[in-house]
Amino acid sequence: MTAATSLAAPPVPAVGEAAPDFELVNQFGEPVRLSAFRGQNVVLVFYPFAFSGICTGELCEIRDNLAVFEDARATVLAVSVDSKFSLRAYAEKEAYGFDLLADFWPHGAVASAYGVFDPESGMARRGTFIIDADGKVRYVVVNPRGQARELAEYRDVLAGLERA
């Protein structure tokens, strides 16, 4: 294996594939395992950094519309490469009612498994994966740096899962 291939990130999981399982700690240091949510939908939101402008705007929009996710029996898990300590301060400041997960060490390992880790900047890209109750990826979006994601897309996908 060459150095170039050893640094290549895994591809982004495709719609219909099993979501890679992981366990990370939340802002309180509690372990959160993706497979523990089987039987319900999960909205997995990767974002670059706590306290940054676009990230805060996106997560506050989710916070302010949490009923959309709850109505679809969906749990929101937001993941960044920040430590649990910064995530706790961030969650308290913004009054987030969902888990912020620390992909801090090994740095960006879960973001890498989902193909959204940017090794040049050391952060996760803006990737969202909606995972159904069986653990299958049903929606994927990865936005370029500086471009926020649309909440309306989440609503549409979640509404489709309710009918399925």
**Is residue 20 within 8 Å of 114, Cβ to Cβ?**
yes
The yes-or-no answer on residue 55 being catalytic is: yes
CA-CA distance, 89 to 87, in Å (whole number)? 5
Select which of 32, 43, 44, 55 is catalytic: 55
String of DSSP letters for 45-88: EE-S-TT-HHHHHHHHHHHHTHHHHHHTTEEEEEEESS-HHHHH
Q: Which residues are catalytic?
A: 55
